[in-house]
C-alpha cells in the first residue's frame, strides 16, 4: 500500500480536549523549539518544505525555509526545524504555517510558524489538539470536523478556528445518521468553501460488522450543503452516475473562477473488503448557484486515460487540474497515484505529464500538499535516486526537475511572506 500523502488536522485550542476516540493510524484508517536561523535575506517570501528523514523509520519531519524551488540542493542534516512526533500534516492560512500532529485518538501538539525578518521560521504558538478527519480554509478561518464512525454515537463535531487569534470562535455537532437516507452513516471525505457556504461530500459507511469503511451503497454520490458560519444543513445533493466524491481524507471538489463546482470520484468504494463500485472514476459538475448535478456533464477519466483512475486533484486555474493517476487494475481506497495528468474540465481534454520519473520508480509523491504558483504546480517526487521538487508546466504538460532535498522524503510544499 502506498503511503497517503495527506495531512490530518487536529483542533487548535488553548487547552487540551481530552476525549475517547476509536480513530487509528492515518496511514491505514481501518487499523487501529528548534533553531532555524538563516542568513539575512532580501527576499520578501520563502518556501516552506516539509520532509521526512530517510535514515530512520518512524521519525519526525523537518521544516525547511528555502529561497527557490527551481534548482540547487538542501540537506536535512543541520538544517530546518525538527517536528515533535510522527504523522505530521500541514496547512497554511493567513500567512501562517500550521504543523499538526495526528494523535491517533489522543490530543496532539500543533505548532504554528511565521517567517522572521531573516527568512527563518519562528514558532509563534504551540497548542494541544483533538484529532479531526476533515478540515478546510474558509476565508481566514479553518473549519475542522471530527467524524464519528461509531453507529452508537453518530456525532461529528465541527470547530471554527480564527487564524488571526488562534482561538476557537464556535463549535457544534452534526448527527451523521440524520443526513443520509439509508441504514449506514455519512462520513465526510472533505469540506470545501463554495461562496458563503460549505460543501461536504460524504461516503456511506457501515461503521459496524467488521466492515467499518465498507458500504452496501457503492454507486451513489452525496454532498451535504451547509450555511457558514452557522453550519446549518441546507440541502443534500445526490447523483447515481458515480461512486462517492473524494476519498478518505481527500478533497473531491474543485471550484473554478465562475463558481462552477467540479466533483471528482475515484470509484474506490468497497464492500466486505472488496472493490464494489460499478461506476468509473469520473468528473461531474454542479453549475454555479445551483444545488443539483448537471446531468449533461460527465467526464469519464478511465476512458480518457485508457485504464487509469484518479486519486487526488490539484486545481491550477482556468479549468485546469493536475491529477494523480493510478492503473485501475491496482485500484485501492488509500493509494496515491504516481503518474500525473493534466485535464481541462471545460473541454474535457486529457494529457499525460512528460518528464517525471517512471511511475514504478516513484516511492513517494505529494498530492494535496502541492504548491501552485503562476500556473506552475510544484510537486515533491521521491525515488531511490533522491527527492526532488518538480515544476509541472501545465501549458506544455512537462515536468522539470528542481531543488533536491538531500536525505529526506518531501511531504509538503508551501510559501510564506516575510512580514
pLDDT at 25 over 50: no
Mind listing the domains of the chain with CATH numbers? 10-417 (2.130.10.10)
Give the residue among 331, 401, 412 at the shortest CA–CA distance from 365.
412
Beta strands, E only, 73-115: 73-75, 81-82, 88-93, 96-101, 108-115
CA distance 300 to 200: 22
Whole-angstrom CA distances from 187 to 322, 324, 395 are 26, 23, 37
Could you tell me if 53 and 62 are in contact, meaning their C-beta atoms sit under 8 angstroms apart?
yes
Whole-angstrom CA distances from 253 to 221, 260, 337 are 12, 10, 18
| Confidence band for 162, pLDDT divided at 50, 70 and 90 | confident
Determine what percent of the chain is predicted with pLDDT higher than 90. Answer: 68
CB-side neighbour CA atoms (13 Å) of 87: 19
CB within 8 Å of 347: residues ≥ 6 apart: none
Task: Return the H-helix or E-strand segment holding 303.
Answer: helix 301-304
pLDDT of residue 165: 83
pLDDT digits (tens, 9 = 90+) for 319-378: 999 999 999 998 999 999 999 999 999 999 999 999 999 999 999 999 889 999 999 999
Q: Is the pTM of this model over 0.75?
A: yes
pLDDT digits (tens, 9 = 90+) for 35-71: 444 444 456 999 999 999 987 666 788 999 999 999 9
Q: Residues 224-245: what's their mean pLDDT? A: 97
Give the residue among 235, 202, 233 at the shortest CA–CA distance from 220.
202
CA distance 18 to 172: 17
Q: Find out whether the peptide bond into 229 is cis, omega within 30 degrees of 0.
A: yes
Q: Residues 67-86: what's their mean pLDDT? A: 89
pLDDT at 19 over 70: no
CA distance 393 to 330: 28
Q: What is the DSSP string of 8-68?
A: --EEEESSPPP-------TT-TT-------------SEEEEEEEEESSSSS---EEEEES-
CA distance 44 to 117: 9
Which residue's entry shows cell 486545481? 315
pLDDT digits (tens, 9 = 90+) for 177-211: 999 999 999 999 999 999 999 999 999 999 777 88
Amino acid at each position: 500500500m502506498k503511503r497517503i500523502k495527506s495531512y490530518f488536522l487536529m483542533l487548535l485550542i488553548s487547552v487540551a480536549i481530552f476525549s475517547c476516540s476509536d480513530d487509528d493510524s492515518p496511514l491505514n484508517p481501518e487499523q487501529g523549539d528548534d533553531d532555524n536561523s538563516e542568513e539575512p535575506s532580501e527576499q520578501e517570501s520563502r518556501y516552506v518544505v516539509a520532509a521526512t528523514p530517510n535514515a530512520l523509520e518512524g521519525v519526525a519531519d523537518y521544516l525547511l525555509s528555502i529561497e527557490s524551488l527551481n534548482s540547487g540542493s538542501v540537506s536535512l542534516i543541520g538544517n530546518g526545524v525538527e517536528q515533535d512526533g510522527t504523522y505530521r500534516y500541514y496547512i497554511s492560512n493567513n500567512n501562517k504555517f500550521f504543523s499538526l500532529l495526528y494523535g491517533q485518538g489522543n490530543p496532539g501538539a500543533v505548532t504554528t510558524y511565521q517567517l522572521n525578518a531573516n527568512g527563518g521560521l519562528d514558532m509563534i504558538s504551540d497548542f494541544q489538539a483533538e484529532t479531526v478527519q476533515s478540515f478546510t480554509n474558509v476565508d481566514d478561518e479553518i473549519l475542522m470536523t471530527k467524524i464519528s464512525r461509531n453507529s452508537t454515537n453518530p456525532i461529528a463535531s465541527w470547530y471554527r478556528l480564527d487564524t488571526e487569534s488562534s482561538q476557537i470562535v464556535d463549535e457544534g455537532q452534526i448527527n451523521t445518521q440524520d443526513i443520509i437516507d439509508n441504514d449506514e452513516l455519512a462520513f465526510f471525505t472533505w469540506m470545501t468553501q463554495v461562496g458563503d457556504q460549505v460543501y461536504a461530500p460524504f461516503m456511506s459507511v457501515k461503521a459496524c460488522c467488521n466492515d467499518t469503511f465498507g458500504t452496501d451503497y457503492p454507486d451513489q454520490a452525496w454532498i451535504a450543503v451547509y450555511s457558514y458560519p452557522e453550519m446549518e444543513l441546507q440541502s443534500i445533493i445526490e447523483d447515481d452516475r458515480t461512486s462517492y466524491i473524494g476519498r478518505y481524507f481527500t478533497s473531491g471538489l474543485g471550484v473554478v473562477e465562475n463558481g462552477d463546482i467540479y466533483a471528482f470520484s475515484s470509484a474506490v468504494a468497497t464492500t466486505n473488503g472488496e472493490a464494489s463500485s460499478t461506476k468509473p472514476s469520473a468528473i461531474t459538475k454542479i453549475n454555479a448557484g445551483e444545488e443539483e448535478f448537471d446531468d449533461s456533464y460527465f467526464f469519464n477519466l478511465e476512458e480518457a486515460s485508457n485504464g487509469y483512475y484518479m486519486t487526488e486533484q490539484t486545481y491550477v486555474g482556468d479549468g485546469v487540474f493536475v491529477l494523480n493517476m493510478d492503473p485501475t487494475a491496482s485500484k485501492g481506497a488509500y493509494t496515491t497515484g504516481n503518474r500525473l495528468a493534466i485535464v481541462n474540465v471545460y473541454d474535457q481534454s486529457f494529457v499525460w505529464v512528460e518528464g517525471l520519473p517512471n511511475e514504478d520508480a516513484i516511492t513517494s509523491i505529494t498530492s494535496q500538499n502541492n504548491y501552485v504558483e503562476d500556473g506552475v504546480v510544484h510537486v515533491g517526487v521521491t525515488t531511490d535516486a533522491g527527492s526532488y521538487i518538480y515544476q509541472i508546466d501545465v501549458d506544455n504538460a512537462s515536468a522539470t526537475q528542481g531543488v533536491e532535498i538531500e536525505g529526506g522524503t518531501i511531504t509538503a510544499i508551501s510559501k510564506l511572506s516575510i512580514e
